[in-house]
Amino acid sequence: MGNTADEFLIAAEDKAFDAAHRNIINYNIGKYDAAVDRGLSRLINLDTAKKKGHLIKWKAMETLDKLLPEFEANFQRRGGKVIWANDAEEANREILNILQKAGAKTIVKSKSMVTEEIHLNEFLEQNQIESLETDLGEYIVQLLGQPPYHIVTPAMHLSKEDIAQLFNKHFGTPVDATPEQLTQKARELLRDKYLQADAGITGGNFLIADSGSIALSENEGNARLSTSFPKIHIAVVGIEKIIPSLVDLDLFWPMLATHGTGQNLTVYNTILSGPRQPDETDGPEEMYVVLLDNGRTNLLAQKEQRQGLYCIRCGACLNACPVYKNIGGHSYQTTYSGPIGSVITPHTKGMEDFKHLSYASSLCGKCTEVCPVKIDIHKMLLLNRRDAVKEEKVSKAEKWGWMLWKKGILSRKLVDFFGGGLKNRFIKLLFKKSWGHYRDMPHVADKSFSKQWQERGKNDLH
């Protein structure tokens, strides 16, 4: 077991028995569940919508080599520039080149998981460029020096009292400030930053091939401000975000909103197709889209697990997952946590270090049930486990243990020969540590069912 797996177990146990954390998460996810139930009830035929979304994403991933150049050609036609980045290092280097060439010193950023994935804020800071998160949740976790806790709601692990104390410490606001007052304070602080910023950086919810556009969904308006005021706009988008046509948003926008937050539509939905045109009054003078691979083509090469790339990052599987609800987002130590993160991370960041995430599941199937694009998530987790064994990424003890168990369990003689006492000692010896010291070991009966049946049959005959 590697260091990452050991750290995961320690962090998971720590969070699972943190009562305050559990209360906050249960409260926040409870509110989410109620909103989503209301949102989904408005969709006439949910299953058909999911199947359609799955089909569109299937087609997009199967024709990725055609759709990405189509997007590039259409985006460039409107004066935009496209950068292809193989990995995080390349993406960061290209972004820095653009900013340095323009003499940019301050950046405003809207919420983007892909920039978290490449650790852009830290990289820009090292190069003396201030990068400020403008989404309220992201702003809060940036003040705390933490990564986002959740792919949709970055500060889900904090109560309003925690945030009031944080603002009191940094800005001297009252320690009993209401959420409205805290939001107002953040708004005051951020408004000037938009006007002063040299560049704006965003992600992209969808890349639209036939119009050469990026689509952004948000609830606060910060993405629009980040892309309207500064002279330069850089959008960093994973290559899997491509959809064939503008008309596909008719399906994906409501599905993303209902599954993400329970809304019919997010408050602000923006389609950007390049820099400011001669007849337009606002928008940047230059617009760049960084198309990021960063391990995605490794997943694309896996025919059976490829559907992990259909994900539209709604976060529904995280909120449904009993493991996520107990151990929290930070325990995963990856940008994408929860069930979908456990599917994709072993392929994008390496099976060696992240295979353990595929075991962090009860396989209850709730993640698959709630997915708006019908990704068979719990099946993907099993396939990852299979691949870890096939690629011999498991320890010798694990390998031999299962080999002996298989040999024993396939032989009725051996099953009956080893009594319950011996089996219980054997279970304790091998599994006590991994089972955890908070849980009791399962107790095996002294005699197997077969043995008891035989004895009962003999007694009945007499």
**DSSP strand pairing (206-208 vs 242-243):** parallel
Give Cα 33 to chain centroid, integer Å: 18
User: What are the backbone angles phi and psi of residue 285, rounded to the nearest 5°?
Assistant: -80, -30
Would you state the pLDDT for residue 408?
81
What's the alpha-carbon Rg for the chain, to the nearest Å?
25
| Three-class DSSP category at 82 | strand
pLDDT band at 459 (very low <50, low <70, confident <90, very high): low
Mean of per-residue pLDDT scores for the chain = 93
pLDDT in tens, 380-426: 999 999 999 998 888 787 788 788 888 888 888 887 777 777 778 87
CA 438 vs. chain centroid, Å, equals 29
All domains in the chain, ordered by first residue: 43-294 (3.40.50.10420), 396-461 (no CATH)
**CB crowding 114-141: b at 16 or more within 10 Å, else e:** bbbbbebbebbeeeebebbbbbbbbbbb
**Phi and psi at residue 102, in whole multiples of 5°?**
-90, -5
| CA–CA distance, 435 with 309 (Å, rounded to integer) | 32
pLDDT given for residue 433 in this prediction: 73
Distances, alpha carbon 193 to alpha carbons 188, 216, 229, in Å: 9, 21, 10
List, for residues 19-72, the tens digit of each pLDDT value.
Answer: 999 999 999 999 999 999 999 999 999 999 999 999 999 999 999 999 999 999
The Cα–Cα gap between 357 and 329 comes to 12
Alpha carbon distance 396, 398 (integer Å): 5
- pLDDT of 206 higher than 90: yes
Rounded percentage of the chain residues whose pLDDT exceeds 90: 80
The DSSP secondary structure of 373-410, one letter per residue, reads T---HHHHHHHHHHHHHHTT-S-HHHHHHHHHHHHHHT
For residue 406, give Cα distances in angstroms to 27, 311, 401, 415.
Answer: 43, 36, 9, 11
CB-CB contact of 311 with 344 (8 Å):
yes
What's the CA angle centered on 111, arms 99 and 307, to 5 degrees?
105
Among 401, 109, 415, residue whose Cα is nearest residue 236: 109
- Give residue 462's pLDDT band: very low, low, confident or very high (50, 70, 90): low
Compute the average pLDDT of residues 162-181.
95
